[in-house]
Structure 1
C-alpha cells in the first residue's frame, strides 16, 4: 500500500494544473497589484518548507525583476512588536495552514505599513488571508503526510506566476504552463543508484546555487523529517569555505544543478569534491568525476531548478521506508506547527 507521501508526490503534476486553472484570477489580480505598485523591494514571511519556497521565490524575483528581496523573521511582529517601514514594498506570506500566529502577525503588520501583501495558502478562508490584501489558494488539495511536498511545489509555482504577471515575462509564463507535463516525467525518474551508494551513511551535504540552493535546503529538511538523517544544505561555493573539512572518503554530497548560469561552476565544485574521495552526485551532464543523477530539462532556468525536487521526493520517501521509518508520520513532528 502506498504511503500518503508517495501519493501526494505523484499528485504534484495534477496539483500544479489545478493551481494554474483554479487560481488564475486570484494570481492575475495579485500580479496586477504588484505591477501597479512597482515595489522598490519585496519581503517574504514564512517558516519551514514554506521558507524554502520563499527562498526560491527570492532568487526568482531578484534575477527577473531586479528588486531586492529579504526574508523577515516573523517574531519581529509577534514577539518584538517592531514597526517596520514597508510602505514602498510588497510582501509575500506563505503558510499552508494559514494560521500560524507569528506569520499572521507579520503579514498584518506589513499590510498596516502600506505594503502590497499577498498570502499564498492552502487553506481559505484563514487568518493569513484576512491579514493580507490579496490571498491566493495554492490549490494543492489535502496534504495528509506530515512532510510537505505538493504544497511546497505549488507555493513556488504560485510565486512564479505572480512574478511573470508582475514583469510580463512571456517566456516564464510559457515555461510555467508546460510544468505539469514536465513534472509527469520528473516524478518518475529513478534515483535508486543514490540509495544503493548511501548505504549506512548517517550524514550528508546537499548543495546548490541560486534557486537550486532553495531545493537543496528543502531536500536536507526532508532527510531530517522522514529519515532522522543529518543533512545540511550549503551554497556550492560556501561549502568550500569551511564545511569541506568534513568531506572525507565516501562522504555523501548531492549537488542540485539547474540549467542556468551557475551550472558549470556547480559541476566543477561537485567534481572537486569527488576528487577528494567524496561520494558525489549531481543533476548535471557537465560533471566529469561526480556521478550524474537523472533530471528533466524544462527549457527555462527557473523551472529547471524547481523540477529537481520531484525525483528527490520520490527517492527520500523510498529511502525512509527502507530504513524502517514511516514517512507519513515522523516521530515528534506534527502537520501544523503554530509558533508565536
Structure 2
C-alpha cells in the first residue's frame, strides 16, 4: 500500500475523531457573529474554503473565497475593510503566502481565525489560541491532501453552521467514506487509463470536490484533467464528449439533482460517460455511492473515488504515489 493510500484509508477515522470535538469547535465559533466573511487558502485549503462558501451563501451569509497568493499581490489593504471576519485555512499554518499575509497586513489579525492541523504553527501563535480551530486530522504522510482536506471541510461546516444558527447533521459521514473506500471502481479505472483524457462535471457542492480531484490527479498521478460546473459544461464544453473523452459527472441528491438527471440522459448515448452517484440511475457506467447524506455532505465521499483513481493511475504510470518529485508538502516559497 502506498503512503497516499495509507492516508486516504484513514479518512473515516479522522472524521470520526474530529466530530468528538464538534461541540468545542461550535462553542469557540459562537464568540463570533460575522455577516461578511472572506476565506483565504492555497491548494486543498482553498478548495475546502470554496466548499464552505457554497454552504455559507445558501444560509444568507455574504461569503467569498479567494486564493491567498492572488490576494497578497492584487488586493489593496482597504479591500479587507469589506469583511468583518477573515477565515485563514492552512493545514500546516506555515505556508509562505499565509505568513506573508499576516506580516504584511497586521491590522487583519484581530478579525482573523485560523483553521489548521498545526496549532503550534507560527501563524497560530500570532493569532492566539482563541482564534485557532484545529481540524484533528492526524499526521498526513503523502503529497496530496486527503485527511486534511476532508477534515478542513467538516471543521468549516461546523463553524459556519454555528454562525448561521442552523443545525447540520454530520453523523454518518465516516460510514459513507468507508463505503467509498470499498466500492468497486475497477472498470472506471480501466476506462480512464485506456482513454488518457478525463473531464469532471458537477454542480453546487460537487464543484470544489472536482477542483480538488483535479489537483489530486495532477500531484499524485501526474495526470492532467479538466473540470466544469454542470451549467458551464453545457455552454460548449460538452462537445468534448463527441471527441471521445471520459466525462465523469458527479450526480448526488440535492437542488439540481433533476437537472443533472436530464443532462445525464441527454449524454447517455456517449460511451465516455461515467457517473459517480448516490442516485438511482439506468446508466451502466456508474460508481455507486451510498445514499442518505444531506446535499451539504453528499459529494464528499466522491473525493475518495478520485483519490483511489489517482493512486491506481500513479502505479500504472510508474510514479511513486504520494511522493513529491518537484513540489513539497509545505510550500515555503511563493
TM (normalized to structure 1)? 0.88
Q: After the TM superposition, which residues 131-146 of structure 1 pair with which residues of structure 2 at under 5 Å, given as runs?
A: 131-132=126-127, 134-146=131-143
Alpha-carbon shift at residue 249 of structure 1 (Å): 4.9
- Residue matched to 1:305: 299
Secondary structure of the 1:311 match is helix
The 3 A distance-change label for structure 1 pair 43 and 107 is: farther
- Residue matched to 2:10: 11
1:138-185 deviation line (CA, Å, top 9, x unaligned): 111111111111110000010111122223323x1xx21332233222
Higher mean displacement: 245-254 or 43-52: 245-254
Higher mean displacement: 288-297 or 161-170: 288-297
Q: Is 1:92 equivalent to 2:87 in the alignment?
A: yes
Q: Is 1:262 equivalent to 2:256 in the alignment?
A: yes
Q: After the TM superposition, which residues 222-261 of structure 1 pair with which residues of structure 2 at under 5 Å, given as runs?
A: 222-261=216-255
Higher mean displacement: 44-53 or 278-287: 278-287
Checking the alignment, whether the CA contact within 8 Å between 1:3 and 1:328 is kept in structure 2 is: yes
Q: Aligned-pair RMSD on alpha carbons? A: 2.5
Q: Is 1:129 equivalent to 2:124 in the alignment?
A: yes
- Residue matched to 1:327: 321
Q: Is 1:120 equivalent to 2:119 in the alignment?
A: no
What CA distance in whole angstroms lies between the structure 2 residues aligned with 1:311 and 1:281? 11
Alpha-carbon shift at residue 289 of structure 1 (Å): 4.3
Secondary structure of the 2:175 match is helix
Q: Is 1:316 equivalent to 2:319 in the alignment?
A: no
Pick one of 204, 218, 232 that aligns with 1:210.
204
Structure 1, unpaired ranges of 5+: none
Higher mean displacement: 135-144 or 183-192: 183-192
What CA distance in whole angstroms lies between the structure 2 residues aligned with 1:107 and 1:269? 45
**How many residues of Structure 1 are paired with residues of Structure 2 in the alignment?**
331
Structure 2, unpaired ranges of 5+: none
- Residue matched to 1:102: 97
Q: Is 1:157 equivalent to 2:154 in the alignment?
A: yes
Checking the alignment, whether the CA contact within 8 Å between 1:111 and 1:131 is kept in structure 2 is: no
What CA distance in whole angstroms lies between the structure 1 residues aligned with 2:176 and 2:106? 36
Checking the alignment, whether the CA contact within 8 Å between 1:91 and 1:107 is kept in structure 2 is: no
TM (normalized to structure 2)? 0.89
Higher mean displacement: 11-20 or 284-293: 284-293
